[in-house]
Amino acid sequence: MSAYPSPNCGPRRDDARPDIVVIHYTATPGVEPARTWLCSPEAEVSAHYLVAPDGAVEQLVAEADRAWHAGAGAWGDVTDVNSRSIGIELVNAGSDPFPDAQMTALEALLDGIVARWGVPPERVIGHSDMAPGRKIDPGPLFDWGRLARRGLAIAVRVPWWRRLLRRVDAARFRADLARAGYTAEAAPEVLLQAFRLRHRPGATGPLGRADCALAAELARRFPVDRGRPAA
């Protein structure tokens, strides 16, 4: 692992410990432009790690410090996500698949992070989860199922018959999403889009039974405070 210290960091506020991991993509096709931006004082943005398509990992900010990667948003009752998270930037333009070497490196990186800080898999999230509407990364091409199979994230499935039994209830859907962590302020259609981006990529149209059934399953199995370490 190479180190390229970024000046864009500081102490975590209120002695917070990281209990969230936020995954991003850089929206740039190359490592050097991404690193330059994340290490530029003018950019006022950074992340703890930068992962190249070939699997090379660079550390830009120490895990104990607060990197500036999350911005405005929320996850559960956490509104200063930067102070409670570790940010990982994947070099990707946003329209490309994530290579196997990059995903393998991400898995190894996450193995260490979750072990050191006790981060449960439901608190490994995308930028779009905590900032719906404002951010869409890591996007619809990111393989959350692969991380879930390694126990490094979550993915839920609901049998078809349970989807058919679930009625469409917009208020219940929003409440279930909030219980699962989606607490950032956003219009209903924006929250639906963010939820689908992560859990039903490719789904379109108005809120449906499948959306409501998946949200209810998320809320039941992975309420946002389940197993969360004390701040």
**Catalytic residue list contains 89:** yes
In the set 89, 185, 189, 217, the catalytic residue is 89
> According to the 3-state scheme, what is the secondary structure of the chain?
CEECCCCCEEECHHHCCCCEEEEEECCCCCHHHHHHHHCCCCCCCCCCEEECCCCCEEECCCCCEEECCCCCCCECCECCHHHHEEEEEECCCCCCCCCHHHHHHHHHHHHHHHHHHCCCHHHEEEHHHHCECCECCCCCCCCHHHHHHCCCCCCCCCCHHHHHHCCCCHHHHHHHHHHHCCCCCCCHHHHHHHHHHHHCCCCCCCCCHHHHHHHHHHHHHCCCCCCCCCC
Active site residues: 89
